[in-house]
Amino acid sequence: MLCNGGPGFEDYLAPIAAMIDDLVQVHRWEQRGCGRSTAVPPYDHATCLADLERLREDFGYDRWIIGGHSWGADLALDYATNYPQHVLALVYMAGTGITDEWWPEFRQASQERTERLPVFSSPLNEEVYREGQQTRRAYLRAPRLVECIRTLDIPAIILQGENDLRPNWPAKQVADLLPRARLHVIQEAEHCLWLTHPQQVQQLLRSFLQEITNSNADSGAL
C-alpha cells in the first residue's frame, strides 16, 4: 500500500508503483476528498489510519507492506505503530518524522531554492490539508509514541534526498528509533527522489522488497 504526500493531494506515486509492481501487488490510496476519492469528512489523522485498516480488511490481507512519501510516509509509520500485527514491512520515503520542529528550516530553504514536484491534475484540498496537519500534530504529542516506534520489530527502509528542502534529521531520528531500519540518503536527490534519481530509488526499493518477499515465502507467510 502506497500513501501519497499532502495531506490534501491526489495520488502521484504511479512511477514508484511501476518500479515494483512485478514483485508485489501495489495499491495506491487517495485520502478522502483527494483525487478520485469522495469528499466525506472527517479528514483527520485518526480517520486516515482507520480507512487504511478497513482497506486492508477489504482486500483480505492478514499482513501487508505499507509505505508512502512525505506525509504519506509519516502516515505509513503511524499505521505501523498502531497496527503492527498487520505490517510485514515499512517503506518510508522523504518523511518528516515525529516532530514539527523542522518547519523553520524548510521555510528558509524554500526561500533560497525550488524543487521538482509531480504534475497534479487537481488542486490541493485545503480543508483536508488543514485538518490532517492539525490532527497529526496532536498525535505527535502522544506520550508513548517514541516507545511504540522503538518496539516496532519490522524491516523498514528509509529513503531521503540529500537536497530535500525539508531537513533529513527527523527521518534519521526515526531510523535510530526503529530497531530494523535501513537509512539511505541519496546524494543530490530532492524531496521527490524518483524525479531526480529514479535508478537509485528503484534499485533500493527492489532489493528491499525482494528480501522481504523471499524471507516470508521461505517462512510460509506468503
pLDDT at 12: 97
Predicted confidence (pLDDT) per residue in 61-82, tens digit: 999 999 999 999 999 999 999 9
Q: Where are the beta strands (DSSP E) in 51-128?
A: 64-69, 87-93
Share of the chain above pLDDT 90, in %: 94
DSSP string for residues in 155-176: -EEEEEETT-SS-SHHHHHHHH
**Closest by Cα among 184, 23, 198 to 95:** 184
C-alpha cell at 88: 510485514
d(CA 177, CA 179): 6
CB contact set of 76 (below 8 Å; sequence gap of 6+)? 1, 3, 66, 67, 68, 90, 91, 92
What value does the mean pLDDT take over residues 123-146?
Answer: 95
Architecture, CATH, for domain 2-219: 3-Layer(aba) Sandwich (3.40)
Q: What is the pLDDT of residues 148-183, one digit of tens each?
A: 999 999 999 999 999 999 999 999 999 999 999 999
Cell digits for 87?
Answer: 505490517
- In this prediction, residue 86 carries a pLDDT of 98
The residue ranges of every structural domain in the chain are: 2-219
